[in-house]
Amino acid sequence: MAFRKTLLVSALTLSMGLAAGSALAEVKIGFLATLSGSGAALGQDMVDGFNLALEEHGGKLGGQDIVFLKEDDQLKPDVGVQAVQKFIEKDKVDLVAGVTFSNVMMAIAKPLADADMTFVGSNAGPAPLAANQCNPGFFFASWQNDGQAEVMGQFATDRKYKDVYMITPNYQSGRDQVKGFTRFYKGRISGEVYTQLGQQDYSAELLALQAANPSAVWVFLPGGMGVNFVKQYKQFGLMGRIPLLTVSTVDGSTLPALGEAALGAYAGTFWGPDFKNPVSESFVAAFEKKYGRIPSQYAAQAYDSALLIDSALKKTGGKTVDKKAFRDALRAADYASLRGSYKFNVNGFPIEDFYAFEVAKDAQGRVSLKTIAKPLTNHSDAYFEKCKY
């Protein structure tokens, strides 16, 4: 049975290889995201956002027909590497985009660099790729991972909290976020607690926090961990008593599950659904109409990366063969983004504004994010000086 399967796959591959050689005026984009397993909600948001942009432009970007190839990395780095190798060798894509999680991003950086493939990132932005492992072909339309923690640090400083109690899972991203926060918050850190990845019950940590009685609490607990923590924070009666500063914990993907339990929490990121510029407003309206939910920032990031690609293709007349010209066009970022205006730094990461939000009810009474401050303007990441190429 194994060789029957081998024959079938070989036959399919051969026929697809023959067919692929015929397309001409089109651009192939390989989109890698986590579409199964625990991170699937974010990956799905990203795909939805990108697809919305494609739909609004009639399936074209920059006037070119887009062949949108999607692959699921299952949150496994080796599967991500195989998917990227498939994009490069088999599908012969013109650029790779997406990537939900940082560990997959780190794994695919080398095959992308070896193939000199242009990459437009829509979420993950790990520090090494902003520092000495930067690449002239990589453009991150989202943000460098530390940015959201940094804005919360600045927010905490602006609000003059005497001390902050920090809780995050015990993994690389968590540690990076702690460093980012303390880069901008100069007060006292009254507690630094590392929880287990995937931990569900935080009652022990909440009791200890209660006993420490800090001026503010800062957490980085993405996905289900965040939903667990915020629900339990509310039940301990802490929400509203001690300000809760969050990063990647309350956003469009987790607020539907939290509902009113999250009201009053603070968050920091580069975009919110209540932004008042025309691109953002039309994006939010179209997304709500098509998918029936408030878009999360992950959908917005993917949508914006599509707009970025559109602007670059318009500049090069739809051609990607001249890699340098295409990359220069991407670097120009000459388009109206839903975040407002931004520029690319030398390492391919944006220099952009970061905002602070509060979880509140929007005009329609739904629980959403409300912009309350802009602690960081034209903010560069902390690593770009190490980028030399």
Partner 1 sequence: MDTSIAQAGPGRRFPAASWPVCLTVALFLLLALVPVYSALADSPYVLLQFSRILVFALAAVGLNLALGYGGLVSFGHAMYIGIGAYCVAVASHYGADSGVLHLVLVLAVTALVAAPVGLVALRTRGIAFIMITLALAQMFYFLAVGLKQYGGDEGLPIRQLSHFGALTGNHAALYLALLACLGGSLLLLRRVIASRFGLILRASSMDARRVRAVGTTPLGYQLLAYVLSAELCGLAGFFLANLTAFASPAYMAWTASGELIIMVLLGGAGTLVGPVVGAAGFLLLEDVLKGLTDHWMIVMGPVIVLIVLFLRNGLWGMMSHSREDH
Partner 2 sequence: MSPQLLFMQALNGLQYGILLFLLAAGLTLVFGIMSFINLAHGALYMMGAYFAAAAFRHTDSFVLAILAGLAGAMLLGVVLDRCGFSRLYPRAHLDQVLATFGLMLFCNEAVRMIWGSAPIFMSLPDALSRTVIVLGTPYPLYRMLIIGVGLLVALGLYLLIERTRIGMLIRAGASNRGMVSALGVNIGWLNTFIFALGAGLAGLGGAMVGPILSVQPGMGDSILIMTLVVIVIGGIGSIRGAFLGALVVGLVDTLGRTVVPALLSQSLAQELASTLGAAISSLAVYVLMVIVLALKPEGLFPVKKR
Note the residues at the interface with partner 2 (CB under 8 A). 36-38, 40-41, 44, 170, 192-196, 198, 200-201, 203-205, 207-208, 210-211, 223-225, 227-228, 231-232, 234-237, 253-254, 256-261
Residue closer to partner 1, measured from CB, 63 or 77: 77
* Interacting residue with partner 1 among 39, 49, 62, 111 (CB under 8 A): 111
User: Binding pattern to partner 1, positions 198-237, x when CB under 8 A?
Assistant: ----------------------------------------
Residue where the block lists tokens 């407003």:
281
Q: Are 84 and 96 in contact (CB under 8 A)?
A: yes
Choose from partner 1, partner 2, none: what does 123 bind? Cβ within 5-8 Å by kind. none
* Interacting residue with partner 1 among 60, 76, 183, 290 (CB under 8 A): 76
Q: Tell me the C-alpha distance between 167 and 180, whole Å.
A: 14
Return the structure tokens found at 86: 């498939």
Footprint (CB under 8 A) of partner 1, residues 156-195 = 170-173, 175
Q: Tell me the C-alpha distance between 117 and 81, whole Å.
A: 14
Q: Is 382 in the site for partner 1 (CB under 8 A)?
A: no
CB of 192 to partner 2, least distance (A): 5
Residue closer to partner 2, measured from CB, 129 or 227: 227
Residue closer to partner 1, measured from CB, 47 or 217: 47
Q: Which of 120, 74, 42 is nearest to 327 (CA)?
A: 120
Pairing of strands 118-121, 95-98: parallel
CB atoms within 10 A of CB 366: 14
Q: Tell me the C-alpha distance between 242 and 217, whole Å.
A: 7
Q: Is 103 in the site for partner 1 (CB under 8 A)?
A: yes
* Interacting residue with partner 1 among 77, 136, 264, 318 (CB under 8 A): 77
The percent of the chain in helix, strand and coil, each rounded to the nearest 5, is 45, 20, 35
* Interacting residue with partner 1 among 26, 188, 192, 197 (CB under 8 A): 197
Q: Is 82 in the site for partner 1 (CB under 8 A)?
A: yes
Residue where the block lists tokens 């005497």:
162
Q: Is 89 in the site for partner 1 (CB under 8 A)?
A: yes
Q: Which of 171, 253, 263 is nearest to 220 (CA)?
A: 171
* Interacting residue with partner 1 among 55, 58, 110, 204 (CB under 8 A): 110
Q: Tell me the C-alpha distance between 97 and 306, whole Å.
A: 9
Residues of 338-349 as b/e, b for ≥16 C-beta within 10 angstroms?
bbbebebbbbbb
Choose from partner 1, partner 2, none: what does 224 bind? Cβ within 5-8 Å by kind. partner 2
Residue closer to partner 2, measured from CB, 194 or 384: 194
Q: Where are the alpha helices (DSSP H) in the chain?
A: 2-20, 40-56, 77-85, 102-114, 147-158, 172-184, 203-212, 224-235, 255-258, 278-291, 297-315, 323-332
CB of 29 to partner 2, least distance (A): 22
Give me the sign of the Cα torsion angle 57, 61, 65, 71: negative
Residue closer to partner 1, measured from CB, 47 or 367: 47
* Interacting residue with partner 1 among 109, 141, 219, 308 (CB under 8 A): 109
Q: Is 2 in the site for partner 1 (CB under 8 A)?
A: yes
Q: Tell me the C-alpha distance between 262 and 244, whole Å.
A: 10
Q: Is 75 in the site for partner 1 (CB under 8 A)?
A: yes
Q: Name the site residues for partner 1 (rule: CB under 8 A).
A: 1-3, 5-6, 9-10, 13-14, 17, 35-36, 71-72, 75-78, 81-82, 85-86, 88-90, 102-103, 106-107, 109-111, 126, 133, 170-173, 175, 197
